[in-house]
Amino acid sequence: MKPVKVALIGNPTVGKSSLFSRLTGIGVIISNYPGTTVEVAHGRIAHDGVDIDLSDLPGVYSLDTDSSEERTVLDFLHEEKPDVILNVIDSTRLERNLYLTLEVLELGLPVVVALNMVEEAHALGMDIDAEELSRLLGVPVIPTYIHRGSGLEELTHALFHPRMLKPRLTRYDRHVEAFIRQLMGLQLGMTRYEAIRLLSNAPESSKYPEGVRTAAGMMRKQVEQSHNEPLGEILAGNRYAEAGLIAKAVVRQRKPSPEASLRERIDDILMNPVSGFIILALVLLGMLLIVFLVGGFLEDIIAREFAIYILNPATDAFTAHPLAQIVVKYTLIGIQAGLSIVVPYIMTFYLLMAVLENSGYLTRAAFLLDEIMHRFKLHGRAMIPLILGFGCSVPAIMSTKTLQTRRERVITSAMVCLVPCSARSVIIMGLVAKFVSIPAALSIYLLTLILTVIMGFVMGRIVKGEETGFVMEMVPLRVPRARDVIDKTWVQMKEFVYVAFPLLVAGSAALGVLQYAGVLDLVNALLAPVTTGILGLPAYTATALIFGILRKEMALETLAVLAGTSVEHLNMALTPLQMYVFGVFTTIYMPCIATITMLDRVVGLKDTLLITTLTIALALVISGLIANLAPLVMALI
């Protein structure tokens, strides 16, 4: 039997993805932050010997604007032609959710409604009569309690037997209705939905003959003039009126539970202009510290144990075959680099982010941060990646996907590349703070902070594209569920592992071979005018910097090896100024391979190259200036 195709549609953050993963097992991101499910997730469930193919579509508020999410949803509906639509609605925000439901019903496909978050609505003092709602909408309505798992069985059953009662269709204004009938009567086999789309001049209207389009255009003009309002607003107004009526008929208001008013009070403190910012600063600082400490701790262990138990024995085993040894060794170094980024930093970060996101705090943070960020013509949301950037640039850049416009993603990603991630902090701390001075190390942080701000300011003015204002739904505060947090962390780590890991390993092996073939010595010689001439560093630093592209702190380790000493004694090989210049250069110059891979996925190849080139140029100019001017300044003092 052919599998039944089911598409999940709903507003953002209504628990759609969570429901999806309960139905299908792990495999999708669960979020409480609007706009996380950018792509379509697929899963399959078996029920009484028949398969259901579930597709989780991005969260949308309506089906008729030209935002990228809504286009994804419409394209999917058009191309995949699902058999049933599972519309997930959040009981706590019933009226707004019903607006989309009414649009979904217009599509003319069988619909099953999952009434989610029933218990939360109950706590807020709202009891919803699901049976009455089902009667009014004309489709099955199944209340679901995701974390108790109840309602899932009924839901699966309903998906197989989507009784088509008589779906409720929005009654529009009588002029509009008359024109819809007229268009449907044109012998073109137009459905009601198609007639409404044509009347609203939707993009696909171009498939109709010229005459029909002109007629529809005239109808639209006539309605707009008699109402003195654009058609889109008239339709939306009618739908909202209908949604309001339905919501009113099925909701019974009681006094909210004490838990709800406690939540309200917490929310008040979180968003207060004074306490809100203090809490925000503490949360961000705490997050940074945790990632830095836990990540650093885990990284140490992983890198060391990997060297002792895998890397060294494997390398020793191949002593007889130098080339094979090199390949094995560097492949393993790549794996080691990957493991010591993924597990400690990325995992820790995602766990924390998942908690912030699913608790609903992230939307509050974005709201508060908008206060600061709009000066850079960026949104509050853009601050989140920048903070993540202190931990690791990879998840930071990944998180720019939640930004609305490409312009914002490009600007924010470029800024993220300048934020010293924990690997770069290892160099700043391990080299500059240790051997030069702590103020010198801090000056590098200050320098990058200034550069990041300038970068944001300049990019904000040169990068073209839509500038949308800040409009974001504030998600209700929720206690994050462990399972959702773990699912989400896993899914996001999986993305990193699949995308960046292979490249890291392959890149590492290739570097090893290059070194074996003597190419790196050649590169050292070729780059000497830059490394020695401009930066005043030993020629072998070129190799160290190339290794730093694999994993930034490898620059430091390689440097020590090449200098013929250990990291603890680097001060014997380099002068303080050289160490400072090296620190500055490694902090600014091109992002590591994993970051570049992620950049490519998020902003595309062209802008990735642009950002990479820009950072290299910036690193050369800044550290070149320091290397050449510092001696002069010293001499003057």
How many other CB atoms are there within 10 angstroms of residue 185's CB atom?
10
Distance between CA atoms of residues 548 and 543, nearest Å:
8
Distance of CA 41 to the CA centre of its chain: 15
Instruction: Based on the shown chain and the rule CB under 8 A, indicate whether residue 371 belongs to the binding site for another protein.
Output: yes
**Distance set, CA 323 to CA 333, 516, 540 (Å):** 15, 7, 22
Tokens describing residue 38: 């950018």
Residues 264-303, one symbol each (x = binds another protein by CB under 8 A, - = not), give -------x-x------------------------------
Instruction: Based on the shown chain and the rule CB under 8 A, indicate whether residue 79 belongs to the binding site for another protein.
Output: no
Among 3, 138, 237, 296, the residue binding another protein under the rule CB under 8 A is 237
For the CB of residue 236, give the shortest distance to another protein in the complex, in Å: 5
Distance between CA atoms of residues 252 and 424, nearest Å:
57
Instruction: Based on the shown chain and the rule CB under 8 A, indicate whether residue 374 belongs to the binding site for another protein.
Output: yes
Residue 379 identity: H
- Tell me the three state secondary structure of residue 603: helix
If the CB atoms of residues 257 and 272 are measured against another protein, the closer one turns out to be 272
Distance between CA atoms of residues 234 and 230, nearest Å:
7
Distance between CA atoms of residues 578 and 76, nearest Å:
56
Q: Which residues fall within 8 angstroms of residue 138, CB to CB, at 6 or more apart?
A: 105, 165, 166, 167, 168
Map the footprint of another protein across residues 199-228, applying CB under 8 A.
221, 224-225, 228
If the CB atoms of residues 251 and 326 are measured against another protein, the closer one turns out to be 251
Residue 261 identity: S
- In 3D space, the residue among 561, 515, 500 whose CA is nearest the CA of residue 325 turns out to be 515
Instruction: Based on the shown chain and the rule CB under 8 A, indicate whether residue 636 belongs to the binding site for another protein.
Output: no
For the CB of residue 90, give the shortest distance to another protein in the complex, in Å: 9
Instruction: Based on the shown chain and the rule CB under 8 A, indicate whether residue 556 belongs to the binding site for another protein.
Output: no
Instruction: Based on the shown chain and the rule CB under 8 A, indicate whether residue 367 belongs to the binding site for another protein.
Output: yes
Query: Contact region for another protein (CB under 8 A) — 55-63, 252-260, 382-390, 491-499?
Result: 55-63
- In 3D space, the residue among 8, 15, 58 whose CA is nearest the CA of residue 146 turns out to be 15
Instruction: Based on the shown chain and the rule CB under 8 A, indicate whether residue 256 belongs to the binding site for another protein.
Output: no
For the CB of residue 561, give the shortest distance to another protein in the complex, in Å: 51
Instruction: Based on the shown chain and the rule CB under 8 A, indicate whether residue 472 belongs to the binding site for another protein.
Output: yes
For the CB of residue 371, give the shortest distance to another protein in the complex, in Å: 5
Instruction: Based on the shown chain and the rule CB under 8 A, indicate whether residue 240 belongs to the binding site for another protein.
Output: yes
Distance between CA atoms of residues 615 and 584, nearest Å:
12
For the CB of residue 464, give the shortest distance to another protein in the complex, in Å: 12
For the CB of residue 12, give the shortest distance to another protein in the complex, in Å: 11
Under rule CB under 8 A, how many of the chain's residues touch another protein?
45
> Which conformational region is residue 125 in: left (phi greater than 0), alpha (psi within -120 to 50 degrees), or beta?
left
Q: Are 35 and 471 in contact (CB under 8 A)?
A: no
Map the footprint of another protein across residues 375-394, applying CB under 8 A.
379-380
If the CB atoms of residues 471 and 635 are measured against another protein, the closer one turns out to be 471
Binding site for another protein (CB under 8 A): 60-62, 64-67, 92-96, 99, 221, 224-225, 228-229, 232-233, 236-237, 240, 244, 247, 271, 273, 363, 366-368, 370-371, 374, 379-380, 466, 468-474, 476
